[in-house]
Structures are given as structure tokens and as C-alpha cells.
């Protein structure tokens, strides 16, 4: 199945529907059922102790699955997260971007499931792991 | 077991350790093993379609469990989230605060588990459900 | 919304579709959106150290949500579990039945979400907590 | 870090501590932080509609993480599951074994986190995905 949207188009769409956060993200890699999404870590993502906040990592994982679903099925801005399970395993480094490596494990008619490993850029071990389910609205 | 910290003290501590977000929250109720935490919904928590963002709801659930753990064991700023599972069930209303009703189901020596129901203020049905595990550091 | 199936009918249906496990369970209470389901703990549910096995507790939580969904929507044997998150918090006692207290938090057109607290009979503190999502097939 | 236990030793230990289920499993591959565990699917694992039951898949995922933790740290029979999140994505085939591919993402002093993909033997797409946390008891 070919990608329905390319990286530039995805980021443009994100800018349109989620203008508050679109600038936080960059696409490092995009291919069939897979995306690497970067969180450009800035002051507002940090917590005391110089680490990236949990909600920022949640947002990164959530956005990665959203974007690969979108890339596969096209502009369905109404796809919504129904479930997320996330494990925080190590403390991210505050002065490095985070990279979410996401693969879509299922892309069904009504549900999509993706999993995500988040790493500090350049690090081998993951700081967090997440899996998310998206509900896909019926096509008009 | 008596509360180790009262509402005012908790909010003061939050202001100290998480100054970026402390102003977002208010404590509606605090008792043994239970807290009702309010997200004072503002423009920055919203998504297009006039709904509260997923990361904002995650942050509310996370903060509710953090604060009741803190209230029970005292100033252990290093308690960290290790796992969260969250179900998004309905669309919150954009013009109402969200209330997280949290109860601590386990408060062990190294792990605490809490669950959370999130509702739009005044609504009967929950918009989200979450359960979180916190790891409690050994006391110095 | 009135119950579509009563306790006797539910157990009869379980016997029909899941004959291997139907005998493990009894319904202690059934009402609108709520069920208390009992696991009649037997040798086959135990683990060394005289505790009930994790898979037995998973099966109990899963079955509780399945049965309350069924009670609410009627004979839809094809409703399937899509997600479960479960926290094991304490060791159950081997010589007591387990009671799962389940409430349905959402009963939508395509998804149902329930949460479950599992206790050893007569105990106040829960041994496990679970939340499950069921996918509901379109009606023929 | 070298493996503390090899496949034969692991299965022998499982036979000792979980005699009821040890015969259900075989180790297809075992290496540093990774295991492929096979569920030898039999009548007792099936559900009507000729599919493998959810509790059987849960047990497979749980056992895979347990065994790789054991292989890494040695005989700590008391390591216990504290959390599992599992997504059921497709219907397994009833007449094929299931293979759980498990990697340990974190092996800390008190917590270990593993994730698991379950496939019907010979199939490319996974039927389920799980992540589990184990609590590791202090060494005597």
C-alpha cells in the first residue's frame, strides 16, 4: 500500500489542525507503516532535574501514531486516540531531542494499533515505550 | 494513616517543583488515599474541534496520582511515573474544567498504583479513565 | 436501558459458547452497567506459593466485561477483547474465591470499555485492577 | 551480560515451579535480552470459532517475559508480574502454534520491562502485542 501523504504534506496538515504543537515535531523517516518522529526538545518540555516531562513524551508517542495512520489512509483528521499504554523506563537527557520510532502493527477498518520506542537522540537504550489504539471514523 | 501534607502545602510544593504547570491545577477534595484534582481548562489545553487535548488529560491524571502519593508519604519529589494506561472514551467539553477523581489502590514500599476517572465538570459520564504506577524511591 | 439478558440466561449462553470455562464462574450481582463475577477458585487456578495465577485473574476480568456487555446488548457472541491493561497489586489468597466488581464506563456503537477490581472474597483491599476494551460487531 | 541460565535449565526450572503449564511451552531461541517462546497449541487453549483464547495468549506473553528475566538474573522464582498491557489485533489460527518474540527493554534493580509480539507460526502479521512489567525481589 503506497503512502497517501508524504512528509511535507503531513507536517502541513499538522500545522493546520494542531497549530499549537506542530512546530514541536519533525519527521526523520517515513515509510510504509513506519515513522520516526522527532520532538525538538525545548524549555517548555522540561521538568526540574533537567528531564523531559511525561506529558511531552506522551504527546510525542501519540503524534507519531497519528501521523503514520494519516500517512497510510489520507486526511482523516477525525481519527482519535482511544487507548494508550506507556512505560517510562529511563530518564531522558534534557539537552537532546527525542526520537520516536513507530510502527503500525494493525491498520484495520475501524481500529489502528501502533507501537513506539522513544530514545534520546544518539542513545541506544529506550527511555519510554508506548502502544496506542486509534479509532478510524467511517469515510463519508 | 493521616495525610502527611494538606492541600495548601501540596500546591505550594507543586509550584516549587513543577512551576510550569502548577497554576493549571486546583485541589477540590483531599482525603485518605483519595483526591479530586481540577484542570483549569484554558486555551493552551484545547484542540481544534473545541476539545481538551489528550496530553492535557494525561497530565491531569498523572498529576492527580502524584499528588495523592505525595499527600500520603510526604515530600518525595523523586517519585516517578513508571506506567500509565489511559482510555479516552468521550470528547470533553471545551468550556468546562475537567475533574479527575483519583483513588490510590496500592501504596506499597516501592510501588504505588492509582486509578482515575476524568469528567467534565457537572457531567455524569467520564471522558477518560487512567491507571498509573509510581515508583517510590528508597528514603534517604 | 433495561438488561437484555438476566443472570441465568447469561450463564447458559456462556456454557454454550465457552464450555471449557463456564463452570469456573458464578454471577453474584447483575444490574444496569454493573456485574460482580465470582471465580470459583480450584486447584487448576493456583500457582506454587498458594496463590491464584495471573492468567486466571486475567480470564476473570475478561469474562466479567464480556458478560456485562452481553447483558446490555444481547447475544452478540462475536464481541471480542481488543485491549486489556491489568495491574497485579497483591497476592490473592489461595483458599478463597475471587470476586470481580466490574462497571461498564462506556457502551458505544463499536467500542465498550469496562473496569474491574478483583478482591479475595471478604477482603477489603483489591488484589488486581483491570480495564478492558471490547469491539462490538455491527448488527446483522 | 552473559545468560545466567540456558534453555534446558529454564524449562527444568519452569517444570519445577509451574508444573501445570510448563509442558505448554518450548524455547525456540534464547539470547541476550531476547527470547522466542512457543505455545504448543492444544485443545485446552482453544475457543469456539477455532481460535486461541485470550487467557492463553496472556499466559504466553507473561511466561516469555518471566523466562527472559530469569535467564538474565538467575533463579529468582519470586519475580512477579505487576502490570500487563495487551492488544489483541487479529484472530490466531487454531491449528498452528503461537510464537512470542520477546525483548527485554529494561532490566533494572527493582523493575524489568519486556515487550512481546505474538504470531501464528509462519505468519508475518502479529495476532497480539503485549508489554509487561516484572518486580524483582531484593536478593537475599
pLDDT tens-place string over residues D38-63: 999 998 898 877 789 999 999 999 99
> B97-127 pLDDT, tens per residue?
999 999 999 999 999 999 999 999 999 999 9
Q: In chain B, what residues touch D132 (CB-CB under 8 Å)?
A: none
- Across chain C, where does the E strand assignment appear? 25-31, 34-39, 46-47, 51-52, 80-88, 98-107, 111-120, 128-135
- Residue C31 has a CB neighbour count (10 Å cut-off) of 11
Residue C62 and residue D55: Cβ atoms within 8 Å? yes
| pLDDT at D109 > cutoff 70 | yes
HSE of D41, CA atoms in CB hemisphere, 13 A? 22
Q: Is the pLDDT higher at D19 or at A39? A: A39
The answer on pLDDT for A10 being more than 90 is: yes
Q: Quick one: what percent of chain B has pLDDT higher than 90?
A: 79
A135–C110 CB contact, under 8 Å: yes
Cβ distance of C85 and A85 shorter than 8 Å: yes
User: Is CATH 3.20.20.60 the classification given to domain C7-135?
Assistant: no
Q: List subunits contacting chain B, requiring 3 or more Cβ pairs under 8 Å.
A: A, C, D
Are D59 and C62 within 8 A, CB to CB? no
In a 3-state reduction of DSSP, which class is residue A90?
A: coil
The answer to whether the CB atoms of A18 and B84 lie below 8 A apart is no
Q: Measured at the alpha carbon of residue A120, what is the angle toward residues A115 and A125, in degrees to the nearest 5?
A: 70
Mean pLDDT score, D107-131: 97
B7-43 tens-digit pLDDT = 999 999 999 888 888 899 999 999 999 999 999 999 8
Q: What is the pLDDT along chain C (140 residues), one digit of tens a residue?
A: 689 999 999 999 999 888 888 899 999 999 999 999 999 999 889 887 778 999 999 999 999 999 999 999 998 768 999 999 999 999 998 889 999 999 999 999 999 999 999 999 999 999 999 999 999 987 65
**pTM greater than 0.90 (yes/no):** yes
Find chain D residues with C-beta within 8 A of A89's C-beta: 105-106, 108, 113
For chain A, give the mean pLDDT.
Answer: 93
Question: Which pLDDT band, with edges at 50, 70 and 90, does D20 fall under?
Answer: confident
Determine the Cα–Cα distance for residues D12 and A23; give it in Å rounded to an integer.
55
Taking a C-beta distance cutoff of 8 angstroms, is the pair C114, C105 a contact? yes
| Residue D11 grid cell | 524449562
Residues of A in contact with C111 (CB under 8 A): 82, 135
Please calculate the CA angle A14-A15-A18 and round it to the nearest 5 degrees: 65
Strand C128-135 relative to strand C80-88, pairing: antiparallel
Give B79 to chain D, closest Cα distance, Å: 14
> Would you say A36 and A47 are in contact if contact means Cβ atoms under 8 Å apart?
no
**Greatest CA separation for chain D:** 48
Q: Report pLDDT digits (tens) over A107-129.
A: 999 999 999 999 999 999 999 99
- For B110, the closest chain C residue by CA position comes to C89
Long-range contacts of A135-139 (CB under 8 A, 24+ apart): A135/A79, A135/A80, A135/A81, A135/A82, A135/A110, A135/A111, A135/C110, A135/C111, A136/A69, A136/A73, A136/A76, A136/A79, A136/A108, A136/A109, A136/A110, A136/A111, A136/A112, A137/A76, A137/A78, A137/A79, A137/A80, A138/A110, A139/A76
| Cα-based angle A90, A96, A102 (whole degrees, multiple of 5) | 65
State the average pLDDT for chain D: 93
pLDDT of C80: 93
Mean pLDDT over the full length of chain B: 93
Amino acid at each position: 500500500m503506497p503512502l497517501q501523504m508524504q512528509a511535507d504534506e503531513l507536517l502541513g496538515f499538522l500545522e493546520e489542525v494542531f497549530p499549537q504543537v506542530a512546530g514541536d515535531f519533525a519527521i526523520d523517516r517515513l515509510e510504509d507503516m513506519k515513522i520516526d518522529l522527532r520532538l525538538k526538545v525545548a524549555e517548555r518540555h522540561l521538568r526540574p532535574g533537567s528531564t523531559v516531562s511525561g506529558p511531552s513524551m506522551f504527546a510525542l508517542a501519540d503524534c507519531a501514531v497519528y501521523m503514520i495512520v494519516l500517512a497510510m489512509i489520507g486526511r482523516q483528521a477525525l481519527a482519535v486516540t482511544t487507548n494508550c499504554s506507556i512505560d517510562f523506563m529511563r530518564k531522558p537527557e534534557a539537552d537532546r531531542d527525542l526520537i520516536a520510532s513507530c510502527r503500525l502493527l494493525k491498520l484495520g477498518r475501524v481500529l489502528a494499533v501502533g507501537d513506539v520506542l522513544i530514545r534520546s537522540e544518539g542513545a541506544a537504550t529506550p527511555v519510554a515505550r508506548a502502544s496506542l489504539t486509534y479509532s478510524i471514523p467511517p469515510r463519508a
